[in-house]
Structure 1
Amino acid sequence: MTIRNGLVRCATALVIAGSVNTISPVDAIAAPEPPQLPMDDPFYAQPESLNGRAMGEVVDSRPVTLPGFSTSIPYSAWQLKYVSQNTKGTPWTTMAILLRPEEGVEPPVLYSEQLWIDSLNSRCNPSYTLRVDASGQSRSGLPSEVNNLVAALERGWTVVVPDYLGPEGEFAAGYVEGRNTLDGIRAAENFAPAGLSGTATPVLMYGYSGGSRGTEFGAELAPTYAPELNIRGVAAGGLPTDMAAAAAHMNGGPFTSINMEAAFGLDRAYPELNIASYFLDSSLKQKLTSTCYTDVVSEFAFKRVEDYTVDRIWPLAVPAVAEVVESLRAGRYGTPATPMHLASAFIDEFATVPDTDRFVADYCARGVDVTYVKYPLAEHVSAEFQDFPHAIDWLAQRLAGAPTSSTCGAPGNARIG
């Protein structure tokens, strides 16, 4: 097997593993029929009007089961339909899965994890994939991330998992990712059966890779967009801080498919850019918007975006597109008002370490309390396995009021993991 074929197989295999389900009696009684696809399920339909509705307001809910979700404690689960907004600020409804441990900590804690989605079709969102198979076998994400949810739940924390790309999958459009994450937290706090303490609820946020975007951008937006939230700590890793640099870094490698998904995600969020017009095959848009990232990762591996564009144009070189992408750089949304735990791999196929270093240095200069950890023997995926146990412990310490171990002012502004 060649190195190239090995990398392609690795890229695909990273999304396959499994676990065994344990559910509470409440969930078993409430078990629905096998889930319909979101496009066929009336629960997903947009309301005729959202006039007068507040961001984060829950407009509908239903109990759900998560087959394959393996946990040692009983819990109840719901799907929430809540109000948020798209990139341009137009209200819509999106979804979240809410998990409440039957015996949670007191006072209650809310843990928001943004699973990486990186796709344009609503069937790739957690609100659907977790209801199909929460073991990770069939969802467009890593089983390790399901294990993250289990770890948080078993600490007695209530867990919310939002569809932070929204119903139209505006992947790579940072504002929608951050806003829909924050409104998912609001929805959990607004949902009475969750038993939370409203805006007094301590909130913890975590996300890695694609999920780091909704997490970190949410932290930046929170002081102005959702200042009422009691966010105590935010942990993120594998964050592509500069989307243009990350796209160039991935182009021609095993994950070119991310670039393709991002191009059409931005096309949805910013239709005036008409990014789809730069591609030769008019059916490519339909293909990418009707599948999940994991369905196409092998097809585009080791190809270049220019292989599919008119006159081999690099879309990010188009001035109007470059201007929008620059506006979506991490750090441009605002300054977090909560301590941050940021992690990076030395060998990262998505997020370049020099860009993350500069990003962290900027945060430190702005007075953000940052704990920055770099893993010298890890690449993008394995770094999450290494960092998550440290990240969740770090988040728990924020609840306890323990002092942080900020690396701001340290040589290189980082601690080597």
Structure 2
Amino acid sequence: MRRLLAAGCALLSAAALAQPATARAAGPKPGGVTAVAPLPANLWLPGTGSAQRLTYTTTGPTGKSAVSTGAVFVPKGTAPEGGWPVLSWTHGTVGIGDACAPSTAGRSDRDITYLKQWLAQGYAIVATDYVGLGTPGVHPYLDGRSAAYSAADMVRAARSVDKSLASKWVVIGQSQGGQAALFTANLAPKYAPELDFRGAVATGPPSNLEGIVSLAGPYIPNLPLDDLTGYVAYILAGLRAARPDFDVDRYLTPLGKKAVADAETLCYDDMVASTKGVGIGQLLNRSLFDAPFFNALRGVMEVPVSGYTRPFYIAQGMVDTTVPIPLTLKLVADLKARNQPVTFKAYAGADHSGNMAASLPDTTKFVANLFK
């Protein structure tokens, strides 16, 4: 979340009510593949031997069956004994409109550079688009549980169409995807017990944002951060998609309703352009600092701080203005206080994107050890 109310870090709420995982309603088997197509060559990662685009079933934010898409990248060469170890990639913010799905829209140079390093090490990469990105419904942005289900079911789907993939897997994600990776680490062992889940890497994962966002209201002045209003609109649109029974519109001005509607279709660059010069306060007709809003947002976004049974790594840039380090330090403190299997390292001089490359030597070793 780029620069999301960094100045409000010290005002985080100390409350920590546990949120139960969403129960899944009956429906098609998660991970079932409904369509397979070759991935166009211009969307391949460097070093790819074969690639496909899948449409598959998963579990949506309300526990009902939903549909997601994603791409499978298999390295060149012959798979090792037991198959290619699998890396489930959870991407960062691209927008929540259908046109933003990476398996059709492509990936940033930053992500391509990062992912090709993993592919070159002999990992098959399966990359979900998440529910609602290119599939029916609105993408429930920052709903960590549905993103985790999409990531796990992407592994199931990929293995059903490519027998060279092993059952052992890890999840790695950046930014929004870092949050998804943490939720996956927490939920995957029970959600997909037939798979051999080894652990996770989260770079720049947003956390503790529910307390920050809940401080917003009409009184927030315009801030010189071009993308901040767009991000808040994404969060509100994602909340409405994840909790359709919660009335988000009651907090919005007419301009706010338009911005949230735009958020449902516009990808990141266009969303930033559409909200240029618009302050967060102009979106809201009342304070978000009330129990119904906070509890709804917390139920979607709050990163679990207990219940992890596999090792996971959190990497944080020390000059990250997208996910400021105080937010992550609080998360790590909460995890360590509960004796969770977390490894944490902060990288001097690294910003939000730079953290990916800065941490790669360490995370490469960490992941290699998970597969031993």
TM over 0.5: yes
Q: Tell me which amino acid in the other structure corresponds to 2:81.
A: E
Whether the aligned pair in 1 keeps the contact of 2:239 and 2:300 (CA below 8 Å) is no
CA–CA distance in 1 between the matches of 2:250 and 2:141? 18
**What is the deviation of 1:78?**
0.7
CA–CA distance in 1 between the matches of 2:322 and 2:360? 18
Q: How does 1:149-168 map to 2 (within 5 A)?
A: 149-166=115-132, 167=135, 168=138
Whether the aligned pair in 2 keeps the contact of 1:363 and 1:370 (CA below 8 Å) is yes
Whether the aligned pair in 1 keeps the contact of 2:259 and 2:283 (CA below 8 Å) is no
Distance 1:244 1:118, change over 3 A: farther
CA–CA distance in 2 between the matches of 1:298 and 1:246? 24
1:266 corresponds to: 239
1:42 corresponds to: none
Provide, for residues 104-158 of structure 1, a one-character-per-residue CA deviation record: whole Å limited to 9, x for no partner.
333321111111135221111122113xxxxx4xxxxx31111222122222221
Q: How does 1:24-173 map to 2 (within 5 A)?
A: 53-67=28-42, 69=44, 71=46, 73-103=47-77, 104-107=79-82, 108-130=84-106, 136=107, 142-166=108-132, 167=135, 168-173=138-143
Distance 1:352 1:95, change over 3 A: same
Whether the aligned pair in 1 keeps the contact of 2:93 and 2:175 (CA below 8 Å) is no
Provide, for residues 163-184 of structure 1, a one-character-per-residue CA deviation record: whole Å limited to 9, x for no partner.
1243331112222111111111
Q: Does 1:242 align with 2:242?
A: no
1:186 corresponds to: 156
1:196 corresponds to: 165
CA–CA distance in 1 between the matches of 2:60 and 2:284? 27
Q: How does 1:293-308 map to 2 (within 5 A)?
A: 293-300=268-275, 303-308=278-283
2:259 corresponds to: 284
Q: Larger RCO: Structure 1 or Structure 2 (Cα < 8 Å, ≥ 6 residues apart)?
A: 2
CA–CA distance in 1 between the matches of 2:130 and 2:306? 19
**What is the deviation of 1:248?**
7.1
Structure 1 unmatched ranges of 5 or more: 1-6, 8-49, 131-135, 137-141, 402-417
CA–CA distance in 2 between the matches of 1:105 and 1:249? 52
Distance 1:276 1:367, change over 3 A: same
**What is the deviation of 1:186?**
1.6
CA–CA distance in 2 between the matches of 1:54 and 1:332? 26
Indicate the SS of the match to 2:141.
Answer: coil
Q: How does 1:15-30 map to 2 (within 5 A)?
A: none
Whether the aligned pair in 1 keeps the contact of 2:253 and 2:284 (CA below 8 Å) is yes
Q: How does 1:342-357 map to 2 (within 5 A)?
A: 342-357=314-329
Structure 2 unmatched ranges of 5 or more: 4-24
Whether the aligned pair in 2 keeps the contact of 1:144 and 1:385 (CA below 8 Å) is no
Q: Tell me which amino acid in the other structure corresponds to 1:78.
A: Q
Please, which moves more after superposition, 297-306 or 87-96?
297-306
Provide, for residues 71-128 of structure 1, a one-character-per-residue CA deviation record: whole Å limited to 9, x for no partner.
2x35111111111121111101111101112323333211111111352211111221
Q: Tell me which amino acid in the other structure corresponds to 2:201.
A: A
Whether the aligned pair in 1 keeps the contact of 2:142 and 2:301 (CA below 8 Å) is no
Distance 1:294 1:389, change over 3 A: farther
Whether the aligned pair in 2 keeps the contact of 1:240 and 1:246 (CA below 8 Å) is no
Identity of aligned residues (%): 22
**What is the deviation of 1:302?**
6.8
**What is the deviation of 1:324?**
1.7
Whether the aligned pair in 2 keeps the contact of 1:56 and 1:185 (CA below 8 Å) is yes
Q: Tell me which amino acid in the other structure corresponds to 1:96.
A: G
Indicate the SS of the match to 1:259.
Answer: helix
Q: CA RMSD in A?
A: 2.6
Distance 1:121 1:211, change over 3 A: same
1:223 corresponds to: 189
Please, which moves more after superposition, 60-69 or 259-268?
60-69
**What is the deviation of 1:241?**
1.3
CA–CA distance in 2 between the matches of 1:203 and 1:215? 12
Give the number of aligned pairs: 334
Provide, for residues 219-257 of structure 1, a one-character-per-residue CA deviation record: whole Å limited to 9, x for no partner.
111233223321222100111111224547998334312
Whether the aligned pair in 2 keeps the contact of 1:261 and 1:293 (CA below 8 Å) is no
Distance 1:358 1:105, change over 3 A: same
Indicate the SS of the match to 1:347.
Answer: coil
Please, which moves more after superposition, 57-66 or 208-217?
57-66
Indicate the SS of the match to 2:165.
Answer: coil
Whether the aligned pair in 1 keeps the contact of 2:69 and 2:131 (CA below 8 Å) is no
1:177 corresponds to: 147
